[in-house]
């Protein structure tokens, strides 16, 4: 669910000092985007595909691999006119589970301390 090698690579690339700031920014932006999906779910591809694209990119960058993959699949469905086939509840649940795992395991796996 979490690609710790990707997280370590990101931490190495940006440095330990800035890593925490990047994680906090990521979590704030993705929390906001996921809350928007929950409160005002897009009903067509023109709205859904870009939202899922943003989430996918953010998730891949921070190693939320299962969440990123599901967003990628949802984005493809939306782009193919199948926005109604995207399970937004699963998107939201996968993010919540990924975040929970990250927050509980990060102190032992990287420099981020929640």
Residue 3 to residue 42: CA distance in whole angstroms: 29
Tell me if 114 is assigned to some domain. no
* pTM, rounded to two decimals: 0.92
Task: Flag whether 87 is in a domain.
Answer: yes
Percent of the chain with pLDDT strictly greater than 70: 100
Domain range for 32:
4-109
Q: Is residue 28 part of a domain?
A: yes
DSSP assignment of 31-52: HHHHHHHHHS---SHHHHHHHH
Distance CA 58, CA 78 (A): 18
Domain count, the chain: 1
- Maximal C-alpha separation, the chain: 43
| pLDDT tens by residue, 75-86 | 999 999 999 999
Is-contact 86 74, C-beta < 8 A? yes
* pLDDT, tens only, 43-76: 788 899 999 999 999 999 999 999 999 999 999 9
């Amino acid at each position: 669910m979490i690609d710790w090698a990707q997280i370590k690579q990101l931490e190495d690339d940006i440095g330990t000092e800035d890593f925490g700031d990047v994680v906090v920014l990521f979590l704030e932006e993705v929390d906001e985007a996921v809350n928007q999906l929950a409160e005002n779910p897009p009903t067509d591809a023109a709205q859904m595909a870009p939202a899922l694209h943003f989430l996918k990119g953010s998730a891949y960058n921070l190693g939320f691999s299962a969440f990123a993959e599901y967003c990628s699949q949802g984005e493809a469905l939306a782009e193919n006119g199948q926005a109604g086939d995207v399970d937004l509840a699963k998107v939201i649940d996968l993010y919540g589970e990924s975040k929970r795992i990250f927050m509980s395991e990060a102190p032992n796996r990287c420099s981020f301390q929640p």
